[in-house]
Amino acid sequence: MAPPQVMVNHETDSFIKDSEVVGRENDFSNLVERITSPKKQENVNVIPIVGMAGLGKTTLAKL
């Protein structure tokens, strides 16, 4: 009989160092522009960030 497997919990946090994020400057700027732009007089309650796994959606949202 095989020994029982031990589950390892990986600790995560919500802090992102800007120096560790590479290549998302345009995405970040566009997101900030959409949220803060006085051009449109509509309220923005939700902006979806979608894409394939590993593209950095969570990282972008945390910035």
Residue 45 in this model has a pLDDT that exceeds 80 = no
What average pLDDT does this structure show over 25-30?
Answer: 81
58 domain-assigned: yes
Chain centroid, CA 25 distance in Å: 13
Q: Please give the pLDDT value at position 49.
A: 83
- For the chain, the domain total comes to 1
The answer to whether residue 41 sits within a structural domain is no
Expressed as residue numbers, the domain containing 57 is: 23-36+50-63
Spatial CB neighbours of 44, under 8 Å, sequence gap ≥ 6: 34, 35
- Segment 14-18 mean pLDDT: 65
The CA radius of gyration of the chain, in Å to the nearest whole number, is: 18
Residue whose C-alpha is closest to residue 30's, from 4, 63, 3: 63
Q: How far is CA 32 from the centre of its chain?
A: 13
Please tell me the predicted confidence (pLDDT) of residue 21. 67
User: Is 59 a member of any domain?
Assistant: yes
Cα distance between residue 49 and residue 55, in whole Å: 10
Q: Is residue 18 part of a domain?
A: no
Does the residue 57 lie in any domain?
Answer: yes
